[in-house]
RNA sequence: CGGAGUGUGGCGCAGUCUGGUAGCGCACCUGCUUUGGGAGCAGGGGGUCGAAGGUUCGAGUCCUUUCACUCCGACCA
């Protein structure tokens, strides 16, 4: 391909809303173009080439793992979503629309319902199972806040796969584990440094899920990793060994008899710790939220955790089985009969539900709000009622790994893949069954598997760039090599460049020839910005029979005789 | 949705407070020179000032309404 004929609108200017390297370089390098803000992007020729490459790698590995590609309708009938119960639950990210006859549709953000519908009409017998279907298709999610370019657009290319099995064991082995292996191969081929972590199952439902996280400082997800073993988890699902009590000299661990204590003006954990001269480990923090349920039902819920812990909102949301948790104002708390700053789980007003962190179970000698103004209760003993307890807290850096006793730390990741063991979450409500060996109808055991194809372009660049631009990994680069003719008006340079270009093309190499009448500086800058792994510069050293070979990673340059350039390039590909 | 801000040629911005004939940089077009790190000179094209309404002799500027986008928090591949 000739640069002069290709639409590659590189710019010097940084788009003012772009903060991440991937966003900046993909725009500046002419890979993508923003469409009227708001998380919509056009893929220009360079971006399309990379996208197709990533897509092709995913397809190859999935097909090799026994999956079959299909292509489902993008506009999907709302009735299917009502069957699964997600029409309401999914929230505003789901773009709902009506046709001219007022029939309701949604733009598919994911396609569990569609795929179950496909299979329930076509698969009847256990003999046809397992089956694993996927598509690579544009999805639409009306994101609350699109940002970071391709990282969180509203429209994006996603591979979504679904497997159907006769029982849970087969789903785990031939579905879930098989996909984990396929995903490893895909991300390995893409050249990414990633980590597989335990994850929350979120809105899609089901149990047992893992995320593939590309490690990058700019990642939107916080992941917890162990510095000693291979444990890794999204903060939303991370576990730790119970937090040990502070170490006290001799027998100075606090002991108290239960009583209410006058604590005027002491409304924060820090103030409380200071007031009683006690480590916040022994305090109970109350975090109030409003939980939202289907059909507009709202409940006030209190979460009780240690004073030195922080609430992990996804865990908390799961603990009360809510669709969503939102913040609640102090006024609303007072209106419900609560006393901000002095809340505890004893003598709670009617209608307020609560959960306590599981690590508090069996503890005593704690201090907690007394549910009346200016009083805290000391010497609190935790009640022994199982349904009140759940895992609620965010694992903190320095906490202890529950697997090996090592130290946990936080790091940031970009979620590029997610695999779920779904079970019968969709097949059952949607009446999708097959006949088993005994002729009995059973719902399919399902797995579901996603890869953010367009997001991967951003993830690759987040991990592979320098201060000049992109550095594509060998298997993802839009071209394998770029030939830069320094000055196209010099016949000799032009001829040497054209000759090498013809040779490489004939050899089947994806090669870009920069034959533009630009100055050398702009061509080099564009090369560095676009980030093709290898370049050959035909320039002023041609007089001595030399050309220059540049490796984008590190920008190392070596001179090489022109007459053996072709072989030298081929050797480096 | 809560908080903050911005809408002016393709892109980035000034002009708005204090109303008086729309400007700068980049990009683009033409010509000449230049060609190893985003060139120089000369000439040129391109803007319903987000939208609607109002005040005024006169509105990019003042008032009202509205829309969109961006940034900081809750969603997810």
- In the predicted structure, residue A202 carries a pLDDT above the cut 70: no
Nucleotide minimizing C1' to CA distance for residue A23: B70
Per-residue pLDDT reduced to its tens digit, A476-535: 999 999 999 999 999 999 999 999 999 999 999 999 999 999 999 999 999 999 999 999
Instruction: Give the pLDDT confidence score for residue A185 in this predicted structure.
Output: 98
Enclosing H/E stretch for A283: none
Domains in chain A (CATH in brackets) are 48-77+109-239+410-462 (3.30.930.10), 259-390 (3.90.960.10), 481-572 (3.40.50.800)
Instruction: Give the pLDDT confidence score for residue A207 in this predicted structure.
Output: 61
Per-residue pLDDT reduced to its tens digit, A329-380: 788 888 888 888 899 988 888 888 899 999 999 898 999 999 888 999 999 9
Per-residue pLDDT reduced to its tens digit, A426-435: 999 999 999 9
Per-residue pLDDT reduced to its tens digit, A406-415: 999 999 999 9
What sign does the dihedral A518-A519-A522-A524 (CA atoms) show? positive
What distance lies between CA A437 and its chain's CA centroid?
A: 39
Closest CA to A54 of A461, A449, A420: A461
Instruction: Give the pLDDT confidence score for residue A251 in this predicted structure.
Output: 66
Q: Where are the beta strands (DSSP E) in A398-510?
A: 408-423, 433-435, 441-443, 445-452, 465-466, 469-470, 481-485
Nucleotide minimizing C1' to CA distance for residue A204: B76
Angle at the Cα of A277 (from A274 to A281), degrees rounded to 5? Answer: 90
Closest CA to A206 of A447, A429, A390, A416: A447
Instruction: Round to a whole number and report the distance in Å from the CA of A16 to the C1' of B63.
Output: 31
Residue A4 beta carbon within 7 A of nucleic strand B: no
Two structure tokens written together for A66: 């026994």
Residue A96: count other Cβ atoms within 10 Å of its Cβ. Answer: 14
> What is the three-class DSSP state of A98?
strand
Per-residue pLDDT reduced to its tens digit, A142-196: 887 888 889 988 889 999 999 999 999 999 999 999 999 999 999 999 999 999 9
- In the predicted structure, residue A385 carries a pLDDT above the cut 80: yes
Nucleotide minimizing C1' to CA distance for residue A456: B77
Nucleotide minimizing C1' to CA distance for residue A488: B35
CB within 7 A of strand B (chain A, 30-89): 36-39
Closest CA to A484 of A467, A498, A473, A474: A498
Nucleotide minimizing C1' to CA distance for residue A523: B38
Closest CA to A20 of A459, A378, A511: A459
Residue A112 beta carbon within 7 A of nucleic strand B: no
Enclosing H/E stretch for A350: none
Q: What is the mean pLDDT of residues A234-251?
A: 85
Per-residue pLDDT reduced to its tens digit, A100-126: 888 888 888 889 889 999 999 999 999
Residue A468 beta carbon within 7 A of nucleic strand B: yes
CB within 7 A of strand B (chain A, 225-254): none
The whole-angstrom separation of Cα A59 and Cα A73 is 19
CB within 7 A of strand B (chain A, 346-385): none
Residue A487 beta carbon within 7 A of nucleic strand B: yes
Instruction: Round to a whole number and report the distance in Å from the CA of A4 to the C1' of B22.
Output: 36
């Amino acid at each position: 391909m000739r640069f002069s004929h290709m639409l590659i609108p590189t710019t010097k200017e940084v788009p003012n809303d772009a903060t991440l390297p991937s966003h900046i370089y993909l725009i500046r390098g002419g890979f993508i173009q923003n469409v009227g803000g708001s998380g919509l992007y056009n893929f220009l020729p360079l971006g399309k080439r990379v996208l197709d490459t990533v897509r092709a790698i995913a397809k190859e590995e999935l097909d090799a793992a026994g999956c079959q590609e299909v292509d489902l309708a993008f506009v999907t009938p709302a009735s299917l979503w009502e069957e699964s119960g997600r029409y309401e639950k999914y929230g505003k990210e789901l773009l709902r629309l009506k046709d001219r006859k007022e029939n309701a549709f949604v733009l598919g953000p994911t396609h569990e319902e569609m795929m179950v519908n496909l299979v329930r009409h076509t698969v009847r017998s256990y003999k046809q199972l397992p089956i694993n279907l996927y598509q690579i298709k544009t999805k639409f999610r009306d994101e609350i806040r699109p940002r970071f370019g391709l990282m969180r657009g509203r429209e994006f290319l996603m591979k979504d796969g679904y497997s159907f099995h006769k029982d849970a064991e087969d789903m785990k082995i031939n579905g879930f584990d098989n996909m984990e292996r396929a995903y490893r191969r895909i991300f390995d081929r893409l050249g990414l440094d990633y980590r597989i972590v335990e994850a929350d199952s979120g809105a899609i439902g089901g149990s047992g899920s893992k995320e593939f996280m590309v490690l990058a400082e700019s990642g939107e997800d916080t992941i917890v990793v162990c510095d000693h073993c291979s444990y890794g988890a999204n903060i939303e699902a991370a576990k730790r060994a119970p937090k040990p009590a502070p170490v006290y000299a001799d027998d100075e661990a606090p002991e108290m008899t239960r009583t209410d204590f006058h604590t005027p003006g002491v409304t924060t954990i820090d103030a409380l710790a200071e007031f009683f001269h006690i480590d916040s480990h022994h305090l109970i923090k109350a975090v109030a939220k409003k939980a939202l349920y289907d059909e507009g039902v709202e409940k006030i819920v209190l979460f009780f955790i240690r004073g030195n812990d922080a609430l992990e909102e996804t865990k908390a949301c799961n603990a009360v089985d809510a669709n969503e948790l939102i913040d609640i104002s102090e006024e609303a708390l007072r209106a419900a009969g609560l006393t901000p700053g002095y809340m505890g789980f004893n003598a709670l007003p009617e209608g307020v539900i609560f959960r306590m962190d599981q690590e508090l179970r069996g503890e005593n000698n704690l201090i907690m709000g007394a549910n009346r103004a200016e009083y805290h209760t000391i010497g609190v003993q935790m009640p022994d009622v199982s349904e009140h307890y759940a895992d609620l807290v965010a694992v903190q850096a320095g906490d202890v790994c529950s697997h090996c006793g090592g130290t946990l730390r936080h790091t940031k990741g970009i979620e590029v893949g997610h695999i779920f063991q779904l079970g019968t979450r969709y097949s059952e409500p949607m009446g999708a069954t097959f006949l088993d060996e005994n002729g009995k109808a059973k719902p399919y055991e399902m797995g579901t598997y996603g890869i953010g194809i367009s997001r991967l372009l951003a993830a690759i660049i987040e991990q592979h760039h320098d201060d000049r631009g992109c550095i594509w990994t060998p298997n993802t680069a839009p071209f394998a090599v770029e030939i830069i003719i320094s000055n196209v008006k010099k016949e000799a340079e032009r001829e040497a460049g054209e000759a090498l270009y013809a040779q490489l093309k004939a050899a089947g190499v994806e090669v870009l020839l920069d034959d533009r009448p630009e100055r050398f500086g702009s061509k080099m800058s564009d090369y560095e910005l676009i980030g093709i792994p290898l370049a050959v510069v035909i320039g002023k050293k041609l007089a001595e029979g030399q050309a220059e070979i540049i490796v984008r990673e590190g920008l190392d340059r070596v001179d090489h005789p022109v007459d053996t350039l072709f072989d030298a390039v081929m050797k480096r590909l």
